Amino acid sequence: MDLDTVQKQLVDSFAEQENLIGTLYKLYAKRYPEYKMFWAEMANEEYQHASMIRRIVKSDTANIFRFSQGELRSSNLDSSIKFINNLIIEFKDNLDFPITRAVSIALHIEKALWERKIFQYFDGDSDEVKRIMNLLNLEQEIHISKLNKFAEPFHKINP
User: Domain containing 108: what range?
Assistant: 5-157
> Mean of the pLDDT values across residues 7-25?
88
Q: Where are the alpha helices (DSSP H) in 60-126?
A: 74-93, 99-115
pLDDT given for residue 77 in this prediction? 80
Residue 11 in 3-state DSSP?
helix
pLDDT given for residue 113 in this prediction? 80
> Mean of the pLDDT values across residues 50-66?
70
Q: How many domains does the chain have?
A: 1
Identify the residue with better confidence: 34 or 114.
34
CATH of the domain at 103: 1.20.1260
Range with lowest mean pLDDT among 19-28, 86-95, 115-124 = 115-124
Contact assessment for residue 121 and residue 68, using Cβ atoms and an 8 Å cutoff: yes
Range with lowest mean pLDDT among 20-29, 60-69, 76-85 = 60-69
Verdict on whether the full-model pTM lies above 0.75:
yes
Residue 110 to residue 155: CA distance in whole angstroms = 18
- Mean pLDDT of all residues belonging to the chain: 82
User: Is pLDDT of 66 > 70?
Assistant: no
Per-residue pLDDT of 82-109, as tens digits, reads 999 999 999 999 999 999 999 999 999 9
Residue 49 CA: distances (Å) to CA of 96, 125, 138, 156, 158: 30, 20, 11, 32, 32
